[in-house]
Amino acid sequence: MDEVINIRKQPNLKFIWLILIALVLIFIVATSFYTVGETERAVVTTFGKVTSVNGAGLQFKLPYPIQDVKKVDMTTQKLTIGYTESGTASISKEDESKMITGDYNVVSVDFFMEWKVSDPQKYLYNSAEPEKILKNIAQAAARDVMGSKTVDDVLTTGKVAIQTDIKDIMVSRLEQYDIGIQIIEVKIQDAEPPTEAVISAFKAVETAKQEKETTINIAKAYENSVIPEAQAQADKILKEAEAYKQQRINEATGEAAKFTAMYEEYILNKDVTRKRMYLEMIEDVFPNVDVYIDSGSGMEKIMVVGEESSSNVAEIIGGQG
């Protein structure tokens, strides 16, 4: 009877062993292959020491516990300071948002930053809580910058410079901590005084500044429309003046040349030139008269007869014929 029982037990033990071996093989295969997404990096450790960082695709490793894999998301992520986002709503966190400015005013500042993992190995193993360290660095940098600015800068025109200063400080400190995180952007979401009365006053100041800018822009637009027209008019006047100047110069040059020529003729024959000049003068002064020259009696006479001077007679003694 005992032999029969032993014969029945032996096949059961073999079956169990086969199942165990199959399970071990399945475990080995299951822990030897893994898939890395397009936006992930896989950090492989061998007996706890980092041996490789793998990219996207189907990868192979030695079975656990010889080798282990941790995947890191490499996409851009968002961290908020001063508030939290719940769906489409924002919940304020006053313990994070309240800060003191350089002129000893209290302001509430909400901002966020975009960051991503730059080194998966450092992100996983250079610190226990890299995101908590990032948040502490962000809060410290924001308070440092706010403490060097006036409340007017924080609430109105200085936001862009403040964002840049916070980012620069964070980048410098993250390089010191070396936790494998890179800052992409820092953006102030909202900045306002803690009381409604002060908020209204600063809104009035901001409105006045915007109206000032609008007025300046309108004035500049008018200036840009008037100045070209005035410049064109000035250019026209200058060109006309240059043309008139050149005309007068040409006329004066011609008159001078004419006078020079007459003078040369006068030197050569003074009497003839004098008479000719007189006659030309008479024709210019009395354009409607007739001029007669009589030199028959040995005395040269010039008679001027016309509507304006019918009895005028001018005599010029020119000497003996």
Encode the chain (321 residues) as per-residue pLDDT tens digits.
Answer: 445 445 455 557 777 887 888 787 777 777 788 899 999 999 999 998 999 999 998 888 888 888 999 999 999 999 999 999 887 788 888 888 889 998 888 889 999 999 999 999 999 999 999 999 999 999 999 999 999 998 888 888 889 999 999 999 999 999 999 999 999 999 998 888 766 666 677 677 778 888 888 999 999 888 888 888 888 888 889 998 999 989 889 888 988 888 888 778 778 777 777 777 777 787 777 777 666 665 555 444 455 555 444 444 444 334 333
- Last-in-domain residue among 44, 72, 100: 72
Enumerate the H helices of the chain as residue ranges: 2-32, 94-97, 120-125, 130-146, 151-155, 159-177, 196-268, 270-285
Tell whether pTM > 0.75.
no
Helices 130-146 and 159-177, axial angle in degrees (round to 10): 140
Does the N-terminal peptide bond of residue 65 adopt cis geometry, omega within 30 degrees of 0?
A: yes
Q: Domain check: are 312 and 242 in the same one?
A: no
Domain carrying residue 290:
270-321
- Last-in-domain residue among 34, 55, 72: 72
Q: Domain check: are 102 and 184 in the same one?
A: yes
Tell me how far apart the alpha carbons of residues 148 and 100 are, in angstroms, rounded to a whole number.
Answer: 9
Find the angle CA(222)-CA(224)-CA(227) to the nearest 5 degrees. 100
Q: Domain check: are 303 and 232 in the same one?
A: no
Q: Domain check: are 83 and 156 in the same one?
A: yes
Q: Domain check: are 52 and 111 in the same one?
A: no
Q: Domain check: are 278 and 256 in the same one?
A: no
Q: Who contacts 122 (Cβ-Cβ below 8 Å, separation ≥6)?
A: 178, 179, 180
Q: What is the pLDDT of residue 135?
A: 95
Q: Domain check: are 154 and 81 in the same one?
A: yes
CATH code (residue 190): 3.30.479.30
Q: Residue 183 corresponds to which amino acid?
A: I
Kindly provide the b/e burial profile for residues 185-196, where b requires at least 16 CB atoms within 10 angstroms of the residue's own CB.
ebebeebbbeee
Q: What is the pLDDT of residue 224?
A: 86
- In terms of Cα–Cα distance, which of 212, 83, 210, 202 is closest to 151? 202
Distances (CA, A) of 187 to 125, 168, 304: 29, 13, 102
Q: Domain check: are 30 and 60 in the same one?
A: yes
Q: What is the pLDDT of residue 298?
A: 44
Judge whether 202 and 155 are in contact, CB under 8 Å: yes
- Last-in-domain residue among 268, 289, 311: 268
**Total tally of structural domains belonging to the chain:** 4
Q: What is the pLDDT of residue 293?
A: 63
Q: What are phi and psi of 155, to 5 degrees?
A: -90, -20
Q: Domain check: are 83 and 166 in the same one?
A: yes
Q: What is the pLDDT of residue 170?
A: 96
Tell me how far apart the alpha carbons of residues 321 and 51 are, in angstroms, rounded to a whole number.
Answer: 137
Q: Domain check: are 154 and 242 in the same one?
A: no
Distances (CA, A) of 245 to 89, 175, 259, 310: 78, 74, 21, 43
Residue-by-residue DSSP string for 175-228:
HHHT-SEEEEEEEEEEEE-SSHHHHHHHHHHHHHHHHHHHHHHHHHHHHHHHHH
Q: Domain check: are 256 and 187 in the same one?
A: no
Q: Domain check: are 81 and 190 in the same one?
A: yes
